[in-house]
Chain A
Amino acid sequence: MTQRQVAMVIDLNKCIGCQACTAACKSLWTDEPGQEYMLWNNVETKPGPGYPRYWEEGGGGWNEAGTALNPGVLPLKEDHGEEIPLNFDEVYFKGTQEILKQEREMGKGANYDEDTSSGDYPNNYHFYLPRLCNHCTKPACLEACPVRAIYKREQDGIVLVDQDKCQGFRECNKACPYDKVYFNYVTGKSQKCIFCFPRLEEGVAPACARQCPGRLRFVGFLEDKDGPIDKLVNQWKVALPLHPEFGTEPNVYYVPPMLPPRFNADGTFDEEEPRVPLEYLRSLFGPQVDESLATMMFEMEKKQEGKSSELMDLLIAKEWKSLFGIPDVKVA
């Protein structure tokens, strides 16, 4: 354990899949040659193959005992899609091409399955899952690196790849079960989300959180008793890690999604079965998802009856800044 651990809680009931977080991160950190296919923050439609495609099936992480790494597959560049320039010049100014399009085929990109729903209408279901490096307490990437280029900062638990030390062995790429380390094909080094540490050091929340118009990404330190993270993760226990079975002990947590009720065959509402099959949610967030959803429903009902609910008020976040358990100073 580091002295302190920074963490994020993402409320999936407020995420609208707008990709503002993705765009914010991209402009700030991954806008250089070799980074075109990198989305340190991405948002994918679930259920679905995600980004990179079928990342959940690529192995990696720890064995059940937590004593050794599982074998992992190297994620392929083409499974990420990438930002490709358009043929503006040829179409608009040279008149040599007819159709405006990407200069080359993208294949199935990072969000190819946007809003591709699962199940059958009208009982179909899908939701958005924003993903970034989890800055794990037991980072598989760090463990796997043969040259110790990866380190976890003592002061905030942020996991970083030292670009001076990395020699491009790509062991971390294979080991991370979330496929959240990327290989820069120009510099030959592995790169990943840095939790916007330069901002955090100045008391400013990471770009993906601060620039999220959905007001749903809480940032703070796990150790801050009664900070938003502690409340959601430890006290209310509604925020859960993604794929806890991977064994890396993530520090990004999710409030699981509650979709509107299903329909019975006659078109009345089905009050029993949730729209998203519980089995699916358990496969993402582990068995604790049941309790989390029950707490959420219970607290929401309190509000519907006109009673108060600390949990709901916390998630409503009347003051936007209450999302951030750090000073979050004005940026300029």
Chain B
Amino acid sequence: MDGSRLETNRRRFIGGASAAVLGLRYGTVAAQDSSPSAYRRWEDVQRNKWTWDSVARGTHGTNCTGNCAFNVYVRNGIAWREEQQGEYGQSESDVPDYGPRGCQKGLRHAKYMYGKQRVLYPMKRTGGRGEGHWERISWDQALNEIADKFIDYNVEFGPRSVSTQLGTQMVLKRASFAALGRFATIAGCEVPEAFAGVGDLPIGVYMTTGVPLLADTMAAVFKSKVCLIWYCNPAVTRIPDAHFFWEAKYNGTEVIAISPEFTPTAMHASSWLNPKPGSDAALAMAMANLIIVERQFDPAYLREQTDMPFLVRQDNGKFLRETDVLGTPDARDNLFYIWDEVSGKMLEAPATGAPKPPPGSMVPVMNTGSLKLEGIVPALEGEWVVNGAEGPIAVSTVFMKVKAECQKYTPEYVSEITGLNPQVIVDLAQKFGAADPGMIFSGYRICKWLHGDLMQRAFLLLLSLTGSLGKPGGGLQIWNMPHEADQFAFMFSNLPPTLRIATMARWDYTHADHKKLNQQMYGNELAEHVDEYFEKSIENGWFPDYSDVKWKMGIYSGSNAANWRASGKRWRSEAFDQLETIVVCAPDMGMTAMYADYVLPVAHHYEREDFMLEPRTPYVQVLDKAVEPLGESLDDFAIYKAFAKAISERAKARGIAPVEDNFMGMPVTRDFTAYYDQFTMGGEMQTNRDVIQFLIDHNHGLPQVSFEEMAARGMMRNPGTETVMYDTDSPYGSTLIQAVRDKVPYPTLTGRQQYYMDHDWFMEEGETLPTYKGPLSNEGYPLRMLQGHARHGIHSTWRDDSLLLSLQRGEPDIYVSPRDAEERDVADGDLIRVFNSLGEFIAMAHVSSSMQPGMTFMYHGWDPMMFRGRQNFGAVVSTAGLIKPTSLVGGYGHVTYRPLSFEPNATFADFTVDFAKYTGE
């Protein structure tokens, strides 16, 4: 493309000292330079290399969750290199500080942003999709053409025929995210929700606590006594944070890595346990069993914080509710009971039975009251007969049920499932039971199993039993989320909150015939089973029905969806290619942009302003503009503003009348001619910076300063971050602190950490309690293929950096065990075909004894563009149609459709493959 751009970048600063922004000199060095002959001219050449013209604060808004504070050094108008600011403080005085953070991708960004993968101008496809033939067009032409199509689809098929999808390049840049969200709210487009879409949504955590994410700052790790790094690989996936684990180990914490393969994390752990893939819930249940048997649990915690003492009817297995006891018409079905050991009587469970929120409310439960037990001691164990409206009812407790469920998981039985020695399981349980507090550090990999929710519930059970949930240094650490209301400030300001979030797994199920896919991959029985519940949940009105409108236009902002979608080519033909118009806004090319009809250039991380909120550190982090955007690229806000303007102008010119829309029963008029005015709040919001300031002003979890001040500092400490946990005045969720310290009820049906789900569908599925269900396989394919976030990439981006590629194998590789390789006559470095009945892809075999025999492992993110036939691992991920019946439940307190909290999570792990030497070419 632009040759001169690269040359400028290559032009080095040789000779002639520029004004180095350096204050201090290291005096002693100069003083000791005793020999005058030591002066060497060439040394000055080197010294002059470390000089620059200006510095800006920045980071990488890639959804890496790193939030690392960088100085971006600019020389001759080019972002030359970056270096960590480094100077962070500590969360508390007795934990390591956060300095310096950073990772190799971040340290490549100044080079990468000038790479030839950059999109520099608006482009329009000239050849067939994916052929790589383009015509350079002006912004005006691009926006007008897209606006016309947008209006046409809206008029003919309604606003839901357009989808706006945000991806990792933009979701966590707060102002960019808000800009897209505001546009989508105004336009009524469907926004496919990628959190559950990529299989990351911890619905098991939500079921139990009423919030999907609970994590503290990274420094909390240092305060744990036993830290189980469970099915997670932070040495690779959390590069800026990983040091906390080894520092904790040095400090006396037992850091235990649990994963089938010997991960880079296991390398530095105090010990490593290697259960078979997908057997983790069984291990957790065995531990829970032993902790209960050895009475290592914390009864006081369980009585107050969990539903364990709640009474359950022995006849039908349901909670005992006021409706059972009173039988009057106004009896509540969300008032529960406990047995008080002090009075020897059944009592209402404190803080249950609150009035339900009105229909259309943003929250599904509105619990009131306090968890405080005020002189009562709810029994955990016992059987009683109580008076019901229709006669005596035999009851026991949730704890009794949990205990009975756990009893199935003896060390010997679980040894068979996991492959671990029974004594090792006993010792692990003993250690964890004694830990005060114990932590489970996990990652989104536990969400990617079909039964990941059960894993999460079993992990939480362990933590609740030991009273570790909600203590500094304890808990389940996955991630935390900024407050929803703060995120929505700009999106909804002066607008009805009609953001249409669509659940990807369900949209695809409906429109890409996933029933058929399930039949082909897992057989009729499973396919029918899933389908029956799917249809029923729609019938019951528990979930929106997507079948009536099909997307005609897809706008992908910073999303490289075609990189990672399960079922690869099938998804591309059944869903992606079905779109009549594909628009991709991206800084860099990739599979998704390659197949677009229009590609619009987006400014890169050092070319724009924004800010990041990531709970790994207690700091808010700024992206400041170090250099002007390359080519004609624009920041996301500018693009959506220009797009809104084009829509309004085209509608005016064409005399298009408003369309009537209906958002969940609420009539909404979509007046295209007003989009620009609405988007800019009557012209008030003109730049990304205006949005940033708006967000700062409306988020009281942020330092209340101007963006200028924030940008001058780069990072600033957030309020409510005086300890390793997030307090109520911080920008993040603080459910556990509120419940454990302040006794505020959990936002669940029971107002407690809820381990018992007495909904019919949970009963039918045998999932009322945490339990173990094994992973699914593809019959005839013996090897489990696991995946995880890559060291040398962030999600679906950055896999094509030339230096980092040279620090790998230069092409996609997949780890296989020596045994499995030998059996298939494959040697290290051979190309192999990895296949199952869905499809196949070709990659290089990386033979390593770190792999458990019977498994293969491939790091995420390798773009399909880097594979023969443009087929990456998506080709064999046969799980796209797997939807858990229990994830379709609605109207059960907090367990009801709620985007980003409770919705069907895409599954990516329940499949198996085989491989053979590739003999083509």
Binding site for B on A (CB under 8 A): 3-4, 13-14, 16-20, 22-24, 26-29, 31-33, 81-86, 88-89, 91-96, 98-102, 105-106, 108-112, 114-122, 124, 126-128, 151, 153-156, 160, 162-164, 194, 196-203, 207, 210-216, 257, 259-261, 266-269, 300, 303-306, 312, 315-321, 326-327, 329-332
Given A211-B100, A215-B99: A18 touches B268 (CB 8 Å cut-off): no
A117 interface neighbour in B42, B111, B115, B848, Cβ under 8 Å: B848
5 A/B residue pairs, CB under 8 Å, sorted by A: A88-B589, A109-B810, A114-B808, A320-B97, A332-B52
- B87 near A330 with CB under 8 A, answer yes
- A89 near B25 with CB under 8 A, answer no
B251 interfacial contact with A, CB 8 Å: yes
- B243 near A201 with CB under 8 A, answer no
Write the B121-146 contact mask toward A (1 if CB under 8 angstroms, else 0). Answer: 00000010001111000000000000
Q: Which residues of A contact B132 (CB under 8 A)?
A: 91-96
A87's nearest neighbour on chain B, judged by CB, is B116
A24 interface neighbour in B21, B107, B809, B829, Cβ under 8 Å: B107
What is the CA–CA distance of A89 and B134 in the complex, to the nearest angstrom? 12
Known: A4-B32, A198-B46, A260-B269. 9 other contacts (CB 8 A): A22-B104, A23-B108, A81-B806, A86-B802, A93-B1, A200-B26, A268-B421, A327-B24, A331-B86
Q: Which residues of B contact A163 (CB under 8 A)?
A: 42, 45
- A316 near B805 with CB under 8 A, answer no
Q: Which residues of A contact B10 (CB under 8 A)?
A: 32-33
What is the CA–CA distance of A303 and B828 in the complex, to the nearest angstrom? 42
- A318 near B90 with CB under 8 A, answer yes
Q: Which residues of B contact A269 (CB under 8 A)?
A: 271, 424
- B865 near A100 with CB under 8 A, answer yes
What is the CA–CA distance of A17 and B225 in the complex, to the nearest angstrom? 26
Q: Which residues of A contact B47 (CB under 8 A)?
A: 198, 201
Q: Which of A164, A198, A330 has the most CB of B within 10 A?
A: A198
Q: Which residues of A contact B270 (CB under 8 A)?
A: 260
Q: Which residues of A contact B257 (CB under 8 A)?
A: 260
Q: Which residues of A contact B421 (CB under 8 A)?
A: 266-268
Write the B186-220 contact mask toward A (1 if CB under 8 angstroms, else 0). Answer: 00000000000000000000000000000000000
What is the CA–CA distance of A89 and B477 in the complex, to the nearest angstrom? 42
- A203 near B791 with CB under 8 A, answer no
Given A203-B24, A215-B99: A13 touches B246 (CB 8 Å cut-off): yes
- B111 near A27 with CB under 8 A, answer yes
- B25 near A201 with CB under 8 A, answer yes
- A14 near B25 with CB under 8 A, answer no
Q: Which residues of A contact B269 (CB under 8 A)?
A: 260
Q: Which of A16, A121, A122 has the most CB of B within 10 A?
A: A16
What is the CA–CA distance of A112 and B66 in the complex, to the nearest angstrom? 26
B663 interfacial contact with A, CB 8 Å: no
Q: Which residues of B contact A164 (CB under 8 A)?
A: 40-42
- B25 near A100 with CB under 8 A, answer no
Given A101-B811, A320-B97: A304 touches B851 (CB 8 Å cut-off): no
- A267 near B424 with CB under 8 A, answer yes
- A106 near B116 with CB under 8 A, answer no
B272 interfacial contact with A, CB 8 Å: yes
- B572 → chain A closest CB, angstroms: 15
Given A312-B251, A319-B97: A102 touches B32 (CB 8 Å cut-off): no
Do most interface residues of chain A lie in helix, strand or loop, or is the interface mixed?
A: loop
- B409 → chain A closest CB, angstroms: 18
A320 interface neighbour in B86, B133, B264, Cβ under 8 Å: B86
Given A23-B104, A121-B262, A122-B262: A154 touches B32 (CB 8 Å cut-off): yes
- B849 near A124 with CB under 8 A, answer yes
- A51 → chain B closest CB, angstroms: 9
B134 interface neighbour in A93, A122, A124, Cβ under 8 Å: A93
* A-B CB proximity, top 7 nearest: A95-B132, A267-B421, A320-B99, A303-B252, A124-B849, A88-B116, A203-B26
- A23 near B25 with CB under 8 A, answer no
B96 interface neighbour in A105, A212, A316, Cβ under 8 Å: A316
- B589 near A92 with CB under 8 A, answer yes
- A82 near B806 with CB under 8 A, answer yes
- A260 near B107 with CB under 8 A, answer no
B50 interfacial contact with A, CB 8 Å: yes
B781 interfacial contact with A, CB 8 Å: no
- A329 near B849 with CB under 8 A, answer no
- B251 near A316 with CB under 8 A, answer yes
Q: Which residues of B contact A200 (CB under 8 A)?
A: 26, 29
- B25 near A332 with CB under 8 A, answer no
Given A16-B235, A32-B12, A162-B42: A91 touches B111 (CB 8 Å cut-off): no
- A179 → chain B closest CB, angstroms: 17
Q: Which of A94, A111, A306, A318 has the most CB of B within 10 A?
A: A318
What is the CA–CA distance of A85 and B271 in the complex, to the nearest angstrom? 41
B868 interfacial contact with A, CB 8 Å: yes
Write the B83-114 contact mask toward A (1 if CB under 8 angstroms, else 0). Answer: 11011101000111101111110111011000
B614 interfacial contact with A, CB 8 Å: no
- A215 near B96 with CB under 8 A, answer yes
What is the CA–CA distance of A162 and B108 in the complex, to the nearest angstrom? 28
B846 interface neighbour in A19, A26, A116, A317, Cβ under 8 Å: A116
- A102 near B42 with CB under 8 A, answer no
- A157 → chain B closest CB, angstroms: 11
- A213 near B243 with CB under 8 A, answer yes
Write the B813-854 contact mask toward A (1 if CB under 8 angstroms, else 0). Answer: 001011000000000110000000000000000111111110
- B264 near A17 with CB under 8 A, answer yes
- B230 → chain A closest CB, angstroms: 15
B49 interfacial contact with A, CB 8 Å: yes
- A44 → chain B closest CB, angstroms: 10
Given A117-B849, A207-B83: A111 touches B807 (CB 8 Å cut-off): yes
Q: Which residues of A contact B42 (CB under 8 A)?
A: 162-164
B252's nearest neighbour on chain A, judged by CB, is A303
Q: Which residues of B contact A155 (CB under 8 A)?
A: 29-30, 32-34, 38
- A199 near B50 with CB under 8 A, answer yes
What is the CA–CA distance of A320 and B424 in the complex, to the nearest angstrom? 36
- A27 near B26 with CB under 8 A, answer no
What is the CA–CA distance of A320 and B102 in the complex, to the nearest angstrom? 13
- A81 → chain B closest CB, angstroms: 6
B254's nearest neighbour on chain A, judged by CB, is A304
Given A121-B849, A200-B29, A202-B22: A260 touches B271 (CB 8 Å cut-off): yes
Which residues 35-81 in B have Cβ within 8 Å of A in the complex?
35, 38, 40-43, 45-47, 49-50, 52, 55, 68, 71, 73, 80-81
- B117 near A124 with CB under 8 A, answer no
Q: Which residues of A contact B594 (CB under 8 A)?
A: 92
Q: Which residues of A contact B40 (CB under 8 A)?
A: 151, 160, 162, 164
What is the CA–CA distance of A207 and B84 in the complex, to the nearest angstrom? 10
Write the B473-501 contact mask toward A (1 if CB under 8 angstroms, else 0). Answer: 00000000000000000000000000000
- B55 near A332 with CB under 8 A, answer yes
- B84 near A318 with CB under 8 A, answer no
Given A27-B110, A100-B865, A162-B42: A83 touches B267 (CB 8 Å cut-off): no
What is the CA–CA distance of A110 and B808 in the complex, to the nearest angstrom? 8
A315's nearest neighbour on chain B, judged by CB, is B250
B359 interfacial contact with A, CB 8 Å: no
- A240 → chain B closest CB, angstroms: 18
- B40 → chain A closest CB, angstroms: 6
Q: Which residues of A contact B867 (CB under 8 A)?
A: 99
- B423 near A14 with CB under 8 A, answer no
Q: Which residues of A contact B87 (CB under 8 A)?
A: 330
B360 interfacial contact with A, CB 8 Å: no
- B848 near A116 with CB under 8 A, answer yes
- A234 → chain B closest CB, angstroms: 20
- B806 near A110 with CB under 8 A, answer yes
B24 interface neighbour in A3, A17, A202, Cβ under 8 Å: A202
Q: Which residues of B contact A118 (CB under 8 A)?
A: 849
Given A109-B808, A198-B50, A330-B87: A121 touches B852 (CB 8 Å cut-off): yes
- B850 near A316 with CB under 8 A, answer no
- B83 near A331 with CB under 8 A, answer yes
